[in-house]
């Protein structure tokens, strides 16, 4: 029961009192908000009390608030052993700084007569409680090492469970008594804020950093009624600056957001590693093909004769594909008389490559739109979508020594002599001169 | 031209008798509450002397006011913006109680309760802070009339400009001289206290330039106490807020002179409206030291100039206010006759209260028991004056001797002019020559004489009692309830001030 009160009831009471109390006090008695400095009455000791305390507690507050409100970031930082060591030792150093400052402040409050004159009972309560709290914290840091790590699994989720209105007391049930006391003492301190001088921490004047040096307040209504121009000028400049700043900031954020969306839209969804590998492989293949093509072109540009096949490899029924001087596909056959027959394989209809096999009617088939071409004349059969014949290509025969034996132009004009015995050793070539003539 | 109005005061030091009536009037009205006992919004110092708080003019120590940095930008001597945050917890330059004095009263009940004995019972002094018996070691005017004192007068920071011989002369018993310097908040046109306040609680009223602290916004960071070079910001140790002279704005708004003004026995104070050009202000603040007085005079505008009056009206300054500016005795002293000078213009806050330097300690010589007024040694006399010109220049013209000498010549010329009229022992031709050398016409001399010696209250205090009522008319509300006026005007308080827990 006590547990429930201390770890579920008290924190809520403290939080509600903190928020409600400070707002109520600010609205009803703003005059009472002050740092209540006593430097005027006593200066030398204050230096050694106030400065170490405020410095130390600033470091400690940061070290407590980051793990609570940015637990993910904190955990990722604490993975680093060196950083963890740094954080722990900084915390202990700050706690010692605080202890020193608080002790000096307490002694000063209790011994200096002039400071006593401005010391209220609440001042002493707060001072004592703070001293107690820092001692507990230091004790926890010493006795239960690596609080920066274990707190992320215990107190941080517990405090979040409080904030999310689902208090989970199991998280703190098994913590060491010193840690639990540290928590309870913190809740009491939070509870006391609206009733003590601690409210001055909400008055940290950060706005001073960017406010104009001089403050002039006009109270004369005529200035507003009769001098719209002057007022407008002053105000418009102020509003312009404010507006410009706001628009720039807002615009930057908006642009960043839109750009992010736009970029991801145009780049498409992110690919998995496998997909990326496949894509790259495909690209490589294409590049290889392009390179091959270029090599072929180059070959055709440089050579007057291009080797197609050995004559003996050629067959009358199934043609052999090759690339002609125009970089178009073509087919090579061997006719019944033992001589080669070269014909373009690019369909005259829409440019498909015709199939290499010859059917029973000695016709070639373009599979795209069923055009039949006569193998010898190249003429399309009636009813075919293609109307023009497939052109015949010229060829040359050379023996193994590179001696030109026979050549035939695209229109069947032959030059040279040959005998059948030689034919078996010959290679079939296409000739540039025929291309140029054609 | 951005014409603005400013309420301003002139102190004619030749008439100040150092009676402290002004200080007491102010204390009784404003600073008699716990925590404010040590505050003297108005105090009167003996010069040469260390002043209140001790050596307040020593900015090497107190770091008050503005200075020009390497880029000729005006920066606070006491803090940078970030430094202000670092100094919240402990401000090394803040004067402590020891620099003022520990306020005390007496245990009067002892006079009644003492058992009968051989001796008269005494009332022991007790501290107003702790309530304990104490030894009184300092007070608000501890060095009153102590010119020549090695503890006080010799430590006057203004003597730094003097040579050793000049100092010796000043402290020669036969010729010791002194003057009184009544001081209140200068309601500067470029107030360093306002610029230093981290909470933004200090502000300058646009209509009349009065500088005030919004007590509900003040968080007691004490930066203003350090930043004010005149040390006229006071920290209330009881309420934890800073307080300052408010130029008795509740009185001024209802047509009454400020308490210090009203109670002045010597009638040394003149109060009126000045018109100035806010656009020229920046250049004036950055002028070289020797020309600071001149630069500040140039900011002030002639209210009789039709263009100025039109621009003022266009800027929302009421016809009554402009009429008051045209009658302003302050304008006459400061701009028309150029007799009144700002106090320590080198602090660059553009103080808007002005002083006519005293002629008597300069002119008077104790030779045969009568004051020296031989026309022959008329102006050469200035260099042999008992109160060195350098000392006055250090106070009123940032060390520029010519400015102070010109003022002295004018004052002397008026004196000779009137003496020739009344006693008739000065040659008229000589008087003419003297006036010419002082750049005065007989009419001006007559006017100076009249305003200095004869002026009744109505001529010394020329202020329209209007602003407050106007402010109320303009808002759509039946009356200016504290809730509605909060943060707008005045001290911003909505309830009795009580120290927070």
State whether A405 and A366 are in the same domain: yes
User: Among A31, A204, A215, whose Cβ lies nearest the Cβ of B203?
Assistant: A215
Do B129 and A38 count as a contact with CB atoms less than 8 A apart? no
Q: What is the pLDDT of residue B370?
A: 47
Average pLDDT for chain A: 88
Domain boundaries, chain B: 8-100+141-259
Do A219 and B467 count as a contact with CB atoms less than 8 A apart? yes
ipTM score of the complex? 0.89
Q: Answer whether A30 touches B (CB < 8 Å).
A: yes
State whether A69 and A84 are in the same domain: yes
Measure Cα distances from B334 to A63, B270, B418, B432 in Å. 60, 11, 22, 24
Measure Cα distances from A218 to A221, A334, B316 in Å. 8, 109, 10
State whether A121 and A187 are in the same domain: yes
Contacts of B90 in chain A (CB under 8 A): 39, 46-47, 50-51
Reading the block at residue B469, the tokens are 């009522």
**Contacts of A264 by beta carbon, 8 Å cutoff, 6+ apart:** none
Pick the CATH number of B8-100+141-259 from 3.20.20.120, 3.30.70.20, 3.30.565.10, 3.40.50.620: 3.30.70.20
Would you call B41 exposed, middle or buried from its count of C-beta atoms within 10 A (0-12, 13-18, 19+)? buried
Write the DSSP symbol of residue A233. H
User: Among B190, B207, B240, whose Cβ lies nearest the Cβ of A37?
Assistant: B240
Do A208 and B498 count as a contact with CB atoms less than 8 A apart? no
| Domain endpoint, select from A177, A206, A235 | A206
Structurally, chain A folds into a number of domains equal to 3
- Check if the beta carbon of residue A325 is closer than 8 Å to that of residue A318: no
Question: Is A412's pLDDT higher than 90?
Answer: no
Question: Is A56's pLDDT higher than 70?
Answer: yes
Q: What is the pLDDT of residue A213?
A: 87
Contacts of B200 in chain A (CB under 8 A): 205, 207-208, 211, 215
Mean pLDDT of A366-370: 88
Question: Is A208's pLDDT higher than 80?
Answer: yes
> Mind giving me the DSSP string for A110-138?
HH-HHHHTT--HHHHHHHHHHHHHHHHHH
Residue among B132, B193, B240, B488 with most chain A CBs within 10 A, to mutate: B240
**Contacts of A287 by beta carbon, 8 Å cutoff, 6+ apart:** none
Contacts of B217 in chain A (CB under 8 A): 30
Mean pLDDT of A284-304: 90
User: Among B219, B316, B498, whose Cβ lies nearest the Cβ of A226?
Assistant: B316
Identify the domain containing residue A218 by its residue range.
212-244
Question: Is A15's pLDDT higher than 90?
Answer: yes
Helix B428-437 vs helix B401-422: angle between axes, to the nearest 10 degrees? 160
At A93-102, the pLDDT tens digits run 999 999 999 9
From CA B225, how far away is CA B197, in angstroms rounded?
A: 9
Question: Is A230's pLDDT higher than 50?
Answer: no
* In-domain check, residue A266: no
From CA B349, how far away is CA B212, in angstroms rounded?
A: 16
State whether A307 and A223 are in the same domain: no
At B262-320, the pLDDT tens digits run 999 999 999 999 999 988 888 899 999 999 999 999 999 999 999 999 999 888 888 88
Model confidence at A268, in pLDDT bands (50, 70, 90)?
A: confident
State whether A21 and A137 are in the same domain: yes
Nearest-CA distance from B205 to chain A in Å? 5
User: Among A43, A117, A226, whose Cβ lies nearest the Cβ of B96?
Assistant: A43
State whether A159 and A32 are in the same domain: yes
Residues with pLDDT less than 50, chain B? 366-370, 375, 469, 471-480, 482, 485-489
State whether A62 and A98 are in the same domain: yes
Question: What percent of chain A stands above pLDDT 90?
Answer: 44
* In-domain check, residue A274: no
**Contacts of A431 by beta carbon, 8 Å cutoff, 6+ apart:** A304, A305, A394, A395, A396, A407
* In-domain check, residue A126: yes
Mean pLDDT of A138-167: 91
Beta strands in A237-344 (DSSP E): 305-310, 320-323, 329-334, 340-344
Q: Answer whether B233 touches A (CB < 8 Å).
A: no
Mark which residues 66-105 of B lie under 8 Å from A by CB.
81-82, 84-85, 88-92, 94, 96-97
- Phi/psi at A364 (nearest 5 deg)? -100, 145
State whether A307 and A159 are in the same domain: no
Do A195 and B501 count as a contact with CB atoms less than 8 A apart? yes
C-alpha triplet A197, A198, A200: angle, nearest 5°: 85
Reading the block at residue A310, the tokens are 């050995």
Contacts of A196 in chain B (CB under 8 A): 501
Which parts of A272-388 fold into alpha helices (H)? Answer: 273-302
- Check if the beta carbon of residue B449 is closer than 8 Å to that of residue B458: no
Q: What is the CATH number of the domain that holds A134?
A: 1.20.950.20
Q: Answer whether A204 touches B (CB < 8 Å).
A: yes
Q: Answer whether B449 touches A (CB < 8 Å).
A: no
State whether A149 and A181 are in the same domain: yes
């Amino acid at each position: 029961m006590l547990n429930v009160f201390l770890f579920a009831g008290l924190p809520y009471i403290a939080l509600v009192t903190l928020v409600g109390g400070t707002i109520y006090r600010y609205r009803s008695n703003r005059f009472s908000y002050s740092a209540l400095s006593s430097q005027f009455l006593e200066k030398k000791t204050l230096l050694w009390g106030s400065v170490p305390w405020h410095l130390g507690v600033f470091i400690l507050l940061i070290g407590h608030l980051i793990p609570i409100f940015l637990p993910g970031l904190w955990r990722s930082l604490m993975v680093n052993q060196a950083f963890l060591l740094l954080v722990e030792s900084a915390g202990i150093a700050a706690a010692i700084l605080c202890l020193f400052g608080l002790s000096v402040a307490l002694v000063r409050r209790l011994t200096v007569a002039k400071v006593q004159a401005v010391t209220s009972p609440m001042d002493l309560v707060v001072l004592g409680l703070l001293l107690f709290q820092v001692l507990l914290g230091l004790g926890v840091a010493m006795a239960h090492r690596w609080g920066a790590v274990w707190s992320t699994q215990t107190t941080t989720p517990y405090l979040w469970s409080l904030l999310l209105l689902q208090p989970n007391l199991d998280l703190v049930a098994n913590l060491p008594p010193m840690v639990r006391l540290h928590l309870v003492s913190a809740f009491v301190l939070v509870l006391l804020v609206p009733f003590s001088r601690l409210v001055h921490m909400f008055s940290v004047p950060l706005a001073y950093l960017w406010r104009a040096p001089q403050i002039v307040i006009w109270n004369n209504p005529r200035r507003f009624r009769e001098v719209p121009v002057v007022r407008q000028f002053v105000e418009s400049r102020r509003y312009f600056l404010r507006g410009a700043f706001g628009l720039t900031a807002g615009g930057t954020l908006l642009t960043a957001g839109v750009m992010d969306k736009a970029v991801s839209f145009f780049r498409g969804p992110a690919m998995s590693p496998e997909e990326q590998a496949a894509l790259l492989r495909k690209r490589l293949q294409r590049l290889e093909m392009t390179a091959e093509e270029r090599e072929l072109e180059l070959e055709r540009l440089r050579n007057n004769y291009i080797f197609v096949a050995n004559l003996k490899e050629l067959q009358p029924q199934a043609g052999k594909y090759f690339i002609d001087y125009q970089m178009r596909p073509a087919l090579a056959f061997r006719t019944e008389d033992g001589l080669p027959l070269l014909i373009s394989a690019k369909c005259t209809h829409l440019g498909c490559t015709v199939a290499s096999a010859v059917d029973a009617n000695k016709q070639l088939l373009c599979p795209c739109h069923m055009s039949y071409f006569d193998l010898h004349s190249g003429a399309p059969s009636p009813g075919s979508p293609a109307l023009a014949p497939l052109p015949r290509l010229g060829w040359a025969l050379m023996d193994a020594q590179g001696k030109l034996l026979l050549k035939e132009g695209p229109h069947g004009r032959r030059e040279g002599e040959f005998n059948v015995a030689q034919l078996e050793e010959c290679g079939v070539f296409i000739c540039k001169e025929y291309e140029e003539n054609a | 031209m951005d014409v603005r109005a400013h309420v301003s005061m002139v102190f004619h030091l030749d008439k100040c008798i150092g009676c402290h009536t002004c200080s007491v009037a102010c204390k009784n009205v404003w600073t008699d509450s716990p925590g404010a006992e040590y505050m003297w919004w108005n105090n009167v110092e003996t010069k040469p002397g260390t002043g209140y708080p001790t050596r307040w003019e020593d900015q090497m120590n107190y770091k008050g006011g503005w200075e020009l940095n390497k880029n000729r930008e005006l920066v606070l001597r006491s803090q940078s913006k970030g430094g202000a945050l670092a100094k919240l917890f402990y401000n090394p330059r803040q004067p402590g109680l020891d620099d003022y004095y520990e306020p005390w009263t007496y245990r009067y009940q002892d006079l009644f309760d003492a058992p009968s004995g051989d001796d008269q019972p005494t009332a022991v002094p007790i501290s107003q802070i702790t309530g304990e018996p104490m030894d009184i070691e300092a007070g608000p005017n501890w060095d009153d009339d102590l010119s020549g004192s090695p503890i006080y007068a010799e430590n006057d920071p203004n003597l730094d400009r003097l040579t050793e011989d000049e100092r010796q002369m000043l402290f020669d018993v036969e010729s010791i001289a002194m003057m009184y310097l009544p001081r209140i908040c200068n309601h500067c046109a470029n107030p360093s206290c306002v610029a230093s306040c981290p909470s933004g609680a200090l502000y300058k009223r646009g209509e009349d330039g009065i500088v005030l602290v919004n007590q509900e916004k003040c968080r007691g960071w004490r930066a203003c106490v350090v930043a004010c070079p005149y040390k006229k910001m006071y920290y209330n140790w009881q309420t934890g807020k800073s307080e300052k002279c408010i130029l008795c704005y509740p009185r001024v708004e209802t047509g009454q002179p400020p308490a210090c003004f009203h109670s002045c026995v010597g009638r040394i104070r003149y109060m009126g409206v000045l018109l100035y050009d806010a656009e020229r202000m920046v250049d004036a603040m950055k002028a070289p030291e020797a020309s600071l007085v001149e630069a500040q005079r140039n900011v002030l505008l002639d209210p009789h100039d039709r263009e100025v009056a039109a621009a003022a009206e266009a800027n929302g300054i009421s016809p009554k206010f402009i009429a008051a500016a045209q009658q302003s005795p302050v304008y006459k002293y400061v701009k028309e006759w150029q007799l009144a000078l700002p106090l320590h213009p080198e602090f660059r806050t553009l103080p808007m209260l002005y002083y006519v330097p005293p002629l008597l300690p300069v002119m008077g010589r104790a030779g045969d028991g009568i004051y020296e007024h031989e026309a022959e040694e008329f102006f050469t006399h200035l260099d042999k004056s008992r109160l060195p010109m350098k000392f006055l220049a250090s106070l009123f013209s940032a060390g520029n001797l010519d400015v102070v000498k010109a003022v002295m010549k004018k004052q002397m010329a008026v004196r000779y002019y009137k003496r020739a009229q009344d006693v008739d022992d000065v040659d008229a031709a000589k008087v003419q020559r003297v006036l010419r050398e002082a750049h005065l016409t007989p009419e001006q001399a007559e006017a100076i004489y009249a305003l200095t010696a004869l002026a009744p209250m109505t001529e010394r205090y020329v202020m329209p009692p209007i602003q407050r009522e106007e402010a109320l008319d303009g808002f759509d509300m039946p009356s200016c309830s504290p809730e509605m006026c909060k943060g707008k005007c005045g001290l911003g308080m909505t309830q009795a001030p009580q120290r927070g827990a």
